Structure 1
Amino acid sequence: MILYNLLRILLYFIISILAIFNKKLLIFFKSRLFQKMGNDSFLNSNKETILIHFSSVGEFNLTQELIEKILKDKKQKLILSVMTDTGFSAVNKKYYENKNIKIFYFALDDFFAIRKIYKKYKIKKTIVIETEIWPNLYYFASKNGELFIINGRLTEKKLKSYLKFKWIIKKVINYAKKIMVQSFPDKERYEKLGIDKNKIKVYKNLKYSIKYNKITEEQIKKYHETVIDKNKKVIVCGSTRPNEEKIWLEVFKQININNEYQLVLVPRHLERTSEIENIILENFSKDDYLLITQIEKDKSNYKIQNYKKIIIVDKMGVLTDFYQMADFVFVGGTLTDIGGHSILEPLYYGKKPIIGKYFQNIEEIVKYAKELGFIEIVENENEIIEYLKKSENIDTKTFFEKNNEIDKILKEIFG
């Protein structure tokens, strides 16, 4: 710990020099290391506090049900610690007016800032979502109370890098009272790090507890008037990565001979929009596709008669809208060796996800969905085409109810 904090001092010196020439860097560190902690109504009750730390919007989304249950059932005050700006904005939007919640940027594991927060707010339980290893946070969490890691995940790649520093990683993670991981392979990888196996328990992914938004009939009507042709079979490719659009465009070209289908491409990274347009133009004309932002700019020109064969969704936050209106859903990062993105959103809406063979990031969920016949794994264009000729409906309500283990996790924390 001493060596770690000495190295941080050296890092601060380097960053302070760089920040002179980089305003964004200066704002980033200033907002996290010099936050105000005034005497407010949150402190007046003199109650002990629970701190929940997560990094991003995604982790906040999968933690919301846990937060709500702690507030309602346990009647606890919460500090929510967030790393990213987008995550901080999302948390503020949801909980800004809640007097039982205090929202902080994560103090970048600064020894003095972390110590000040624990002393001031009487934090007795700390919950870390997934596996972010912060030595000072873990140290003060265990020193002042109990530390719990929830939804823990450890890939083979991460394990290899952690094993190089096993002596320190082992010590830091063992500060935790309990480590709740997503799968048995995750448990085995933690044990390889030398973590006390009695601390490690396996519970289902917190994503099973997410209550995804459902679009209204009015929203559906608007999409049908401007974007989605309800008289066609709609294929939605979500969170696509490089080369995946090319595969699906080739599939679409072969299967759409009688103009029965419509293809919606939702790239994982919007900055790839121009690249995707160029790929489309290799086999299709400019009149065959449109960006959703173009449609929204001038809705009057894109009424019913102007449906496009291909839609590129160059806008954040609407993927689940399209999943709900799809006849077929492909989840990206699986036809290329990325490891896959979440299949739970389409499953939540009763859609059977199509994925490729690269699903190592979502292995446990895929395994279970496969046992129930809730997923289609394909390896080439021919297999995709054969599946698109079918039509399947699945009922996943009990799937989510059975796998929501929030109450079991809370029991581990509160006894």
Structure 2
Amino acid sequence: MGFILYILYNLLTPFLFIAAIFISFFSLRHKFSDNLNALKERISFSTKGFPQKAYWFHASSIGEVKAIKSIIEKAKELKPDIPFIITVSTLSGKKEALSLTPYVRILPADFYFLIKRFIKNLKPLKLFVAETEIWPNLLAHASKECKVKILNARISDKTFGSYLKISPLIRFSLKNISRICAQSKKDADRYSRFFDKEKIFITGNIKYDSLKKDEKAVDLAENIIKSADIQNKNKIIFGSTHPKEEEIIADSFEILKNEGEDVFFIIVPRHINKAILTKEIFDKKQIKTKLLSEKSKEKTEVLI
């Protein structure tokens, strides 16, 4: 059954890819030219300028790249003679990855022949996949060339429900993976529904391995608190927020204010280039809101 679903997946992937590209070109998140350049990489199997026999890390976006940073740094320390490359799925992820190595590109679309040719050209020593990037052709072809490990593996509630519906395909995709390092027992138990539990290890969330005290960041935070005159207020910070969540946050602010609570909200949107849209959500409710980039000295209740 898994092989049949794998064939169907390869038949449907081109159509799904076209739909995804169409949507991305109308996204306000990136410039048209940036989307065009990303498309060129997605349909190319070229590895020109990339070293062969390298450690290959794949991370979807900026969060996943940051999460595996400590692993990459350790790999460079232990194996300084082995080059490493990073593939990503998003432009924000690519920008972050370029701070770690010049060998960065968007992962080719998961088409059977395209990804097969890309891997043949690359000839990687090992592939390390971050979190939940289960691309059937990527895993199938890469596992024929080298050992493949999934790092910081997790499966959200929504994703787990989706995977259960296509469980034969997920099992087929994971069958030749050498190891899965899960964030938690819950994630490990979920992966064991599709993979040999003897090859699943609970390693915790490696994202926290990269946390270091940044004196500049501490000074910046102290200056923000001081300039906003909120030293004595109850401060609530919301990180990596999306528009629907920000609407709920705005409603909660109104409720707390009506109950007489002296609170100050700090919002850090998931996509910082959409901060102005976040501000509009609070402005509509007549909540005094300011962007961090604004120089205004007016009193504010919410800082973005």
TM bin, normalised by shorter chain, reads 0.7 to 0.9
| Secondary structure at the counterpart of residue 169 of structure 2 | helix
Corresponding letter in the other structure for 1:49: A
| Secondary structure at the counterpart of residue 285 of structure 2 | helix
- Please state how far the C-alpha of 1:278 moved relative to its aligned partner: 2.5
Alpha-carbon contact 2:184-2:203 (below 8 Å) kept: yes
* Distance in 2 between residues matched to 1:38 and 1:104, nearest whole Å: 11
- Please state how far the C-alpha of 1:272 moved relative to its aligned partner: 3.1
The corresponding residue for 2:301 is: 310
Residue 258 (structure 2) pairs with residue 248 (structure 1):
no
Matches within 5 A, 1:291-306: 291-293=290-292, 296-298=293-295, 302=297, 306=298
Corresponding letter in the other structure for 2:74: K
Alpha-carbon contact 1:123-1:145 (below 8 Å) kept: yes
Corresponding letter in the other structure for 1:83: S
The corresponding residue for 1:77 is: 83
* Distance in 1 between residues matched to 2:206 and 2:118, nearest whole Å: 27
- Please state how far the C-alpha of 1:16 moved relative to its aligned partner: 11
The corresponding residue for 1:51 is: 56
- The percent identity for this pair of structures is 25
Corresponding letter in the other structure for 1:169: I
Give me the CA root mean square deviation: 3.0
Matches within 5 A, 1:130-145: 130-145=131-146
- Please state how far the C-alpha of 1:11 moved relative to its aligned partner: 4.9
- Please state how far the C-alpha of 1:131 moved relative to its aligned partner: 1.5
Cα offsets for 1:239-263 (capped at 9, x unmatched): 362323322343245445xxxx551
Residue 147 (structure 2) pairs with residue 173 (structure 1):
no
Higher relative contact order (CA 8 A, sep 6+): 2
Alpha-carbon contact 2:47-2:122 (below 8 Å) kept: no
- Please state how far the C-alpha of 1:167 moved relative to its aligned partner: 1.5
* Distance in 2 between residues matched to 1:56 and 1:119, nearest whole Å: 24
The corresponding residue for 2:94 is: 88
* Distance in 2 between residues matched to 1:237 and 1:89, nearest whole Å: 25
| Secondary structure at the counterpart of residue 204 of structure 2 | coil
- Please state how far the C-alpha of 1:225 moved relative to its aligned partner: 5.9
* Distance in 1 between residues matched to 2:96 and 2:146, nearest whole Å: 28
Alpha-carbon contact 1:150-1:180 (below 8 Å) kept: yes
Corresponding letter in the other structure for 1:90: E
* Alignment partner of 2:44 out of 23, 34, 39: 34
Structure whose CA Rg is larger: 1
Runs of 4+ in structure 1 displaced over 6 angstroms? 21-25
Alpha-carbon contact 2:132-2:153 (below 8 Å) kept: yes
Q: 1:147 to 1:250 in 2, by over 3 A?
A: same
Residue 210 (structure 2) pairs with residue 210 (structure 1):
yes
TM-score (norm 2): 0.79
Q: 1:279 to 1:152 in 2, by over 3 A?
A: same
Matches within 5 A, 1:12-411: 27-34=37-44, 36-39=46-49, 42-43=51-52, 48-75=53-80, 76-96=82-102, 102-193=103-194, 195-212=195-212, 214-216=214-216, 219=220, 222-223=223-224, 226-230=227-231, 232-239=232-239, 241=245, 242-255=247-260, 261=262, 263-266=264-267, 268=269, 270=275, 271-281=277-287, 289-293=288-292, 296-298=293-295, 302=297, 306=298, 308-313=299-304
- Please state how far the C-alpha of 1:234 moved relative to its aligned partner: 4.7
Count of matched residue positions in the alignment of Structure 1 and Structure 2: 280
* Distance in 1 between residues matched to 2:12 and 2:22, nearest whole Å: 17
Cα offsets for 1:67-122 (capped at 9, x unmatched): 111011122211201110111112124433xxxxx212111223333223322232
- Please state how far the C-alpha of 1:159 moved relative to its aligned partner: 2.3
Q: 1:10 to 1:233 in 2, by over 3 A?
A: closer
The corresponding residue for 2:3 is: none
* Distance in 1 between residues matched to 2:62 and 2:20, nearest whole Å: 28
Cα offsets for 1:112-152 (capped at 9, x unmatched): 33223322232121111011111111012210111101111
TM-score (norm 1): 0.59
Cα offsets for 1:14-61 (capped at 9, x unmatched): 569969x97676554223222642256x35xxxx22111110001111
Alpha-carbon contact 1:238-1:265 (below 8 Å) kept: yes
| Secondary structure at the counterpart of residue 133 of structure 1 | coil
Q: 1:219 to 1:158 in 2, by over 3 A?
A: closer
Unmatched tracts of structure 1, length 5 or more: 97-101, 282-288, 314-415
